[in-house]
Amino acid sequence: MHIPKVKLIGVGGTIASIKTPEGLIPGLNVDRIIRSIPELTNICEIDTFQLMNLDSSNLQPEDWIKIANACIDALNDQTIEGVVVLHGTDTMAHSATAVSFLVRDQNKPIIFTGSQIPFESFGTDARRNIVDSIRVILETDIAETMIVFDSKVYRASRTTKLREYEFNAFETIDPTPIAEIARRIEIIDPFVKRRRNSLAWLDGSINPNVALIRAFPGLKPKMMETLPELGYQGVVISAYGAGNLPTKERSLIKPLRKLLQEGFPVVVTTQCVFGRSELFLYEAGNMLLQMGVISGYDMLSETALIKLMWVLAKTTEMDEIRKLMGKNIAGEIRAKILF
């Protein structure tokens, strides 16, 4: 009888945390966690790998490359059915989104999961999330980079953490999740990517020198002027509404125009979780469009940040940057124009 094998990669986070006088600190390894879910041995073999053990707030863009490479090694192992990454919730969506850009020709599922309560604490949601993740691998033919949490399956590049304490920590900005997990797994998204015969590979790298600035009343234009001095090579601005920024008092037009003239890419997204950047709608946004800013369309601001980091590791040519930012790479762009 063939027993399927699943790769479990440990990164840290609340799920691996233990109580200390200083607070919760990641201290459990993946072997310890899996030994505490003995029922899994009846349905699959677990191949574990402890990549790191960090609070996810300490993860940096360079770590996304390590996670992506570990996932690729597992995907290209013919004995492995899929990958589960145990990760902290604070930056889980960031890491999962980065992996969705970095891993090309993905042939099997990569699932990020974790918990709101540490694995060894009473009432933890860790076991449920791990079992659900493995069920998605064994019971479906989905082959995307996803987040599985609270019986929902989310596309990584369209997901954000909205709640700090509730079990339903994550939400998608799509109308529905990819799938819902109950007695059976119901796949809702008709455009989900399916498994195929291919060899996964690392597509590029990450340039961490990108800033994300949220617009706010009182924002000083000089902040934009200092970005190159600080070593940044691009910026994502999370703007108001449909992509509007101040054009009168404390106008950002002059410093942004200067950045663009110097070949410094400026991407504009919306602060609205459920919304899109439509720069042609209002005068304020249209001025930015005429200057040459790049629309973030309906990407989450953090997704646009990660994507620009990935793009700038590939090219510094503005036309190519604009082309790649407007291309749907990992399902991150749902619609470009709202009529």
Name the residue among 66, 55, 62, 119 with its Cα closest to residue 91.
Answer: 55
Residue 24, helix vs strand vs coil: strand
User: What is the predicted pLDDT for the residue at 138?
Assistant: 97
- 138, two tokens: 């064994």
Q: What are phi and psi of 107, to 5 degrees?
A: -110, -10
* pTM (2 d.p.): 0.94
Q: What is the C-alpha separation between 145 and 141, in angstroms, rounded?
A: 13
Burial 67-105 (b: 16+ CB within 10 A, else e): bbebbbebbeeeebbbbbbbbbbbbbbbbbbbbbbbbbe
Q: Which two tokens stand for residue 228?
A: 């190159």
DSSP 228-281: GGGT--EEEEEEBTTTB--SSTT-SHHHHHHHHHTT--EEEEES-SS----TTS
Output the pLDDT for position 244. Answer: 85
Instruction: Report how many helices (DSSP H) and strands (DSSP E) the chain contains, helices first.
Output: 9, 18
pLDDT for res 55: 93
| Contact predicate 315/321, CB 8 Å | yes
Which positions are annotated as active-site residues?
14, 89-90, 161
Helix (H) or strand (E) holding 217: none
Nearest partner of 274 among 295, 293, 301, 294, judged by Cα: 301
In 175-232, the DSSP E strands lie at 179-181, 185-187, 201-202, 210-214
CA 55, CA 243: separation in Å to the nearest integer? 33
Rounded CA-CA distance 24/92 in Å is 17
Chain-centre distance for alpha carbon 27: 24
Cα torsion 318, 321, 327, 331 to 10°: value is -150
What are the structural domains, with CATH classification, of the chain? Answer: 5-202 (3.40.50.1170), 210-325 (3.40.50.40)
Both tokens assigned to 3: 């027993």
What pLDDT score does 338 carry?
41
C-alpha dist (Å) from residue 255 to 94, 219, 224: 29, 12, 6
N residues, the chain: 339
pLDDT of residue 339: 34
Give the residues of the chain that fall short of pLDDT 70. 1, 279-285, 336-339
